[in-house]
Structures are given as structure tokens and as C-alpha cells.
Structure 1
């Protein structure tokens, strides 16, 4: 009954508005009204389900400036909180009132602005219009040109602009709260202040971006880029080949990266230089005095790595051949003169830099490091205490339990041990898979023993004995195997599907056998055929070229 419906419960879980009545309910607003959908119509109720705005509207908005826009008979009008129509249904667009007391409306493909009584403050005669959340100014378009108006309907500029840009201040749109307004005219740009006076005249710069919340903007002249402030002063000279906000954690950073000739320069969010003449950089966080701080890795023109803080202070000398992220941890992996070790944010060596390799496992939630030295591998925890001594040739965390299970190699044989060093799978395999994307899942290992292939569980139980020369896992029902130069097919339960008397067996990689009978291309006595999973011939005399073209990825 409640599927696809909405209701309200109290803090004890008791139904206040039961499911099954409403297709949608918004949270209660500050006046105790609940936006609701019943059937195909919209209205408002209170918590006792008293109808305040009747369910007779095809669409409805939340209240803005105490009015809600409603749709009826394909036209829009406005209701008050008592549900009374205060502005008739005559407009073609859903709209709402801003703090300047105006709503942008459309009628007969033309635009204008009305007040909360429905009076046209700016006549509905314009090609287009824009208003923003934070400002009282609005803009309108006539004959392809734009002009500014105030909230009283007074025209503040001529219709001379080809474009008037909008920017964002604290995630709300604005013309001028960030400092200046970017406008375009006749392929030139200018910046206006909130009084619409030209602070930066047309033609001074070739290109420009909107001002950001730090009240600065990127500009260019003659393909050279710089940064200006709201007074028109160049706080970064227009001398860089590129200037942009670099990507940081999937969003645009506030800092600036400028390229000049063969090097980069970093500027902070206010346009102040952080660091000069580097080849590359990246973002990171580390623990400094028990507090997580943002830092930048920098690579100098000689290919060496170090780190600086956000003000440009050198934290880690630029001497390392490699320098992995701290990732909010106390230590980072570095490479120096061909050897690996660990350092802290003060550049103190916390683990000797004399190892062949170090791997941080799950750096975002660091648990341990795998270390290789003198051709032996061991593990230390994040506090640099030993977990495994250097008794193994190789160590790799098991995909299915990276914290507690490890595939290890000892005396040229692979097995699995747990974190306490207990042997889970004996050391008897020359090869052991960790994870195979198209394999039987995370609970299994493909293994090789005495040059023969098989499959075991993560607890070491034999699923397919390692007695086969070749093993191709397709799915649980179709595992192609070869033994003594003869091919057959079994299931993961080791039940035979196709007997072992073919010279070759192929199956299309994309086929998983759920909705279609399996088809196997088989070679016997030098001739190809297609058989089903009962080994019945479906088609004979398949050309060798067709098989070669279809299964080239096998070879």
C-alpha cells in the first residue's frame, strides 16, 4: 500500500501521516505547511492533514517571499499561504519572487518583471531577462543587446551589452557581490562596479573571467595572463602563458597555477605568490603537530621532489627522486639515491632509506607498509612496528581481506598466511592468483603446482585439482581445461560438461550462458565444429579462418 508513497512519523516511529495517501511530501516549512502531491495534483496540507492549498494544481512551488507559483490549465499564477489566488494564471513560465520583490515572468515569448501584487514593474516586452538572488539589479535584452534596470523598473544603462555575466558568491548567484561585473560589447570586455561605472575600460584586456569570491579575476592581453583586483590593479602581471585554477579532489582549487616558458608559478587564492620555478606540483595533506594541514608537493626543474606549506614555506627539501603522498598520515614514502624509506613532515627519517621498495596499503586508511630489502619482504604497521619479519621473498595482501590475509612466497613457493603468521594455505604452489576480474570471485585462487593448473578456495580446499595443462575460466558452468593435449569443459563443481577428447575448445568471451544455449567451437581430427553443452553437434565444417578471426584474443 505504501509503495511509491510518502508519510510522516513522530520521533517514536508512530505514523502521523500514514503511507498510501500522498505521492510526495516535502518537509514542513517554517509556517507549518507541507508541500504535497496527491494523485496527479499538488497542494499544501498541515500536519493534521487539513488542506490549506487545495489539490487542484498541475504544478506548484515552495513559498518564496510568501507566495507560491502554481500551474493550472497550462498557465502560471501565484497563491498566498491561505491558498487564495493573488496573481491570476496568465504567465507561461514557472517563476518565483526574489528578495528585490520582483518575479521574472514570460508571456507570449516575451519577458518582464512583476511585483507581488501582479503589477508590471518592467513591461513584458523584452526578448530575455535575468535576475539573481543577491542583487536588486536585473538585466533585460532588446534587439540582441542587454541593459541593467533596478528593482523599481528604472533603466540604469543603455541597451549596449552583448553579454552581462553572472557569478557566484557563497553558492548564490550575483552580478557584483564578488567585486566587479564582467560585460562584453563588440568583442571587447569591461568590468563595472555595483554603480555600473567602468572600472576597467573596454579594450584594455583581450579576455577576462568573472570575479571570484576572493574579489579577483584572471585577465589576458596579447595571449599573456595575469590577475586583477576589484580596483583594476594587476596583482599578478600579465606575463604568463597560461593561468588557471588546478583541479583538486575533483573540484577546481582556489589557488592559481601559472605557466611561464618552461616552469610553473603557484599563487594563493588572493593572488600572492606561493612558490616559483617548479616543473610540477600536487595537493596533499599531512599531520603537523597532530593537526592535519594542507601542503603541496613540488617538483623542481631537475626532477627532484619536496613539499611546501600553503604559504610557500619549505617543509620537505627538494631532494627526493620520488615522494608519495602523506595522505593525512604521519609518514610518507620517499626514494633517495635509488633506495626507499619513510619521512615525517619535519623531514625526519622515520624508517631507514635503504630499502628496495615500500608499499603503503590503503593510504587513505593506512594499516601497514610492505617493505622489500635485500630481496626479502616484511611488513610494519602504521606505527612502524613489525608485523612480519623479513622471511619472505614476496608478500601481497589478499584481495578479499587486505588487512588479515596475505599471499606470500617462500622458498620459491606460494601460500597464504594470516596476520598472526599462521599458515592458511601451505607453501606448495609455483603460481597463485590474487584477483581475476573475470574469475570465479574473491573466494578462490587459481594455482599452479608442478606446472599443472587448478583452482582452490581461499581456505585451501581443492575445487579443481592442479592436474591440467591449461585452464580457462569462463564462468561457473564452463571452465575449459586441457590434459595430455586433450580439451574438455567442466563446471566449478568439477562436473564434466564436454568430455576430454578435443584438440581445442573455444567459447565466445562475452557469452555467460544465462539466456542462450552454450556454443563451443571444437577442433577434432583437424576439423572445427560447434557443439552444445551436451556435446551435440550444432554445426559442422567451420572454417579455420572463422575460428581464427573470432578467437584471436585467445592467442
Structure 2
């Protein structure tokens, strides 16, 4: 009977942890938590904690034996937490809670703003949202109420504007508290390059920072901006609009992904391809699945149930010969041949040979594999790192 020990790793939806960052990444081993290097899987901080949070501004909040503290990237304790709760550091401050009220401390652990608020949120552009007497307002880093609590809800400042809610509707204020866009929307997002996505009556559109509508609030969905464009859905079809609200690519696709480096993955009639910002199909709609583009313009593709590697001009780089089992995870995909499992890289080359009776996805540099009824863990190079004997 195979003794299966599952390695569970926390994957945080944060840009800071994407790719192969040197920032320590939280992971779970058994019932404890620590931090590893996302690129190599090397343990940076041993799993000794009961609860951990992501690093922010060089500090991470951790809990051990019921006690909280902030540590640095080496695992050294920098602040012993004397509060009931705390948030991650932003702009040098951490919101802390004591006896039901919130305030702020600095990176030395010194309380800089007294715990007198019902709620407190991270600083952004020099100000933080707080809640007092049931209403939301803004303070500066001295704790002064720059914008008095008066809103039903409020978000952090972004590009000099912040979303607020009054009488059940969302609008925008500037850093002086002046209402610059009247609260008429059901939902409103942060500004990006002078424009924001808003929603009214379950329809979506785009406005500029004066409140002028650039894309009519008639769409069924509008994404956040990425690479200067937003994904827009109307009915069952998708297209793309720019920051001026102009539909650069019409509603012709069944599904679209965000643009990255000038290209976007699209789907039509259950086939995938890639388009450029002019809407030209640079890779035809011929594939069952396409991975993201590699830095050199190549990408992995699935055709007739097999992985292969193609270039941006649809040329075959590596033949379609490995049976698909699951999608790529951390640039490696589990593949099978002759009843054995191995790993394929994003160039279509066999990175780890067919040595295993079963293999799981690579997660934060490690993967669980089964060999001769034994469970062990390997790194992304195929080296055994746990339960090797």
C-alpha cells in the first residue's frame, strides 16, 4: 500500500509571488508552516509556525504557540506582537488591533497612531481608510482625520482618487475629500491611467477621471486593465477595448485572456489561438489548448491530446508526442509514457525522465512522486529532497 504524504503549499494571489521571486513564499509541511524560495524550492525559513502570512516590505506576520511576531527574510524576530491582531506593513505602517479597536505601529513596533478606530486599513498614497462611529473616512500618518468619517464604505486612494459609497451608490473623491464623480454607480473600481471600470444595474462600462463615460455602461462584463486593454463581454462573446473605450477587437470570441506583452490567448468553437493588438490571429485557432508565451516567443500547445512546442509563427519547435495528463505548473507538466510518469518543460523537452509510477504537479519548486510504492519529493531538476531513503 502506497504511503501518501501530501505536500500542501499555500499559493497566494499576489504578484509578489509570481514567477521565481527571491521573496520567501509560505508553505505548509505537515501541520506547520514556513517559507521557501519559489524558484528552487529551497527551505529558507523552517516550518515551525502555526500560521503565516506573505512578506510585505521585508516583514511577515507569523504565529507560534499562540504568540504573534513579525520576522524578516532570515526568520529573525523583529517585532513581538503585543496586540490581538495585525495587518501586513504598507508604507511603513501596520494596522494593529487591541481590545476591539484599531491603530497603527511602525516597523520598530512603536504605536504611532492610538488604537481608537472600529476598523483600520493599509496606507496608500499617504492615507489610510478608517472606520469610526459606523462611518468611513481617511487619516494621514500622523493620525489626523484628513477626510472626516462620513461614508458608508471607502477604498484606498489610487492615482489621487478613491472610491466611496453614499446612499448605497459609489463615486469618487480626491485627496482633499472633494466629490469629483457623483455617486451613481452600484460598483466602481480603482483608476488605471486615468480610467476606471464601473457598474450599474449589472452592466459594466468605463469612465475617465472627470466622470465622462468612454465605454457605455451596457456591457455584461469588463475586466481590469492589462497591457493597456480590457476584456469586454457582451452576450456570449468577448472582445477588447482600450483606455479611450474604443472597441479595438470586436465581439467575436467565445473566451479571451488578458493581453501580455502584446499578445492574447483567444478561444472560438473550442479551439485556441493567439492574437496581437491589431486583432490579427498570429497563431491560428487550431489547438485544444495553448500555454502562455515563453519569453522567447515559443509556447506549449495541445493537439490531438499530445503536447508539442510551437513558435509565434506557428512553426513546430518540438513534435507533438507526449500524452497530456494535466496543465503546466511552474513551467513543468506531468506527462506519461509506457505507464511511467515524468515532467516536460516549456520547450517541449523532457526535463525529468519517466521514472515514476505516479507524479503530482510541481508546486513552489517541489513535487510529490510515487516510485516502487514509496512516496518521495523531488525538486524541479528531479533531485530527491524528502523521504529519499
Q: Name the TM-score, length of structure 2 as normaliser.
A: 0.63
- Aligned residue for 2:166? 72
Tell me if structure 2 keeps the 8 A contact 1:59–1:72: yes
Tell me if structure 2 keeps the 8 A contact 1:245–1:254: no
After the TM superposition, which residues 14-93 of structure 1 pair with which residues of structure 2 at under 5 Å, given as runs?
A: 15-19=111-115, 21-31=116-126, 33-93=127-187
In structure 2, the CA distance between the partners of 1:74 and 1:274, relative to structure 1 (3 Å rule), is same
Alpha-carbon distance in 1 for matches of 2:370, 2:98: 57
User: 1:306: how far off?
Assistant: 12
Structure 2 residue corresponding to 1:131, chosen from 188, 200, 224: 224
- Aligned residue for 2:78? none
- 2:104 is the counterpart of 1:8: yes
Alpha-carbon distance in 1 for matches of 2:121, 2:370: 49
After the TM superposition, which residues 84-123 of structure 1 pair with which residues of structure 2 at under 5 Å, given as runs?
A: 84-98=178-192, 100-123=193-216
Alpha-carbon distance in 1 for matches of 2:184, 2:376: 65
Tell me if structure 1 keeps the 8 A contact 2:366–2:378: no
Alpha-carbon distance in 2 for matches of 1:265, 1:233: 25
- 2:360 is the counterpart of 1:264: no
- 2:342 is the counterpart of 1:237: no
User: 1:152: how far off?
Assistant: 1.9
User: 1:112: how far off?
Assistant: 1.1
Alpha-carbon distance in 1 for matches of 2:356, 2:134: 60
- Aligned residue for 1:176? 260
Tell me if structure 2 keeps the 8 A contact 1:279–1:303: no
Tell me if structure 1 keeps the 8 A contact 2:272–2:290: no
Alpha-carbon distance in 2 for matches of 1:236, 1:92: 50
In structure 2, the CA distance between the partners of 1:194 and 1:278, relative to structure 1 (3 Å rule), is farther
- Aligned residue for 2:255? 163
Instruction: Tell me the alpha carbon deviations over residues 193-239 of structure 1, each in whole angstroms, 9 at most, x when there is no partner.
Output: 3443211112x22x114416656554322233334344434344223
Tell me if structure 2 keeps the 8 A contact 1:296–1:310: no
Structure 2 residue corresponding to 1:226, chosen from 304, 308, 317: 308
- Aligned residue for 1:147? 239
After the TM superposition, which residues 246-261 of structure 1 pair with which residues of structure 2 at under 5 Å, given as runs?
A: 252-261=329-338
Q: Name the TM-score, length of structure 1 as normaliser.
A: 0.46
Alpha-carbon distance in 2 for matches of 1:309, 1:56: 53
Tell me if structure 1 keeps the 8 A contact 2:164–2:171: yes
Alpha-carbon distance in 2 for matches of 1:18, 1:125: 46
**Would you say how many aligned residue pairs link Structure 1 and Structure 2?**
288
After the TM superposition, which residues 389-428 of structure 1 pair with which residues of structure 2 at under 5 Å, given as runs?
A: none
In structure 2, the CA distance between the partners of 1:22 and 1:199, relative to structure 1 (3 Å rule), is same
Point out the more displaced range, 274-283 or 181-190: 274-283
The gaps in structure 1 that reach 5 residues or longer are: 167-174, 247-251, 284-292, 316-324, 334-555
Structure 1 residue corresponding to 2:289, chosen from 208, 213, 223: 208
RMSD: 3.6
Quick check: which has more Rg, 1 or 2? Answer: 1
In structure 2, the CA distance between the partners of 1:195 and 1:24, relative to structure 1 (3 Å rule), is same
Tell me if structure 2 keeps the 8 A contact 1:210–1:217: yes
Alpha-carbon distance in 2 for matches of 1:181, 1:221: 19
User: 1:77: how far off?
Assistant: 0.2
After the TM superposition, which residues 354-433 of structure 1 pair with which residues of structure 2 at under 5 Å, given as runs?
A: none
Find the residue that maps to 1:34 and give its secondary structure: strand
Instruction: Tell me the alpha carbon deviations over residues 335-388 of structure 1, each in whole angstroms, 9 at most, x when there is no partner.
Output: xxxxxxxxxxxxxxxxxxxxxxxxxxxxxxxxxxxxxxxxxxxxxxxxxxxxxx
Instruction: Tell me the alpha carbon deviations over residues 373-425 of structure 1, each in whole angstroms, 9 at most, x when there is no partner.
Output: xxxxxxxxxxxxxxxxxxxxxxxxxxxxxxxxxxxxxxxxxxxxxxxxxxxxx
Tell me if structure 1 keeps the 8 A contact 2:274–2:283: yes
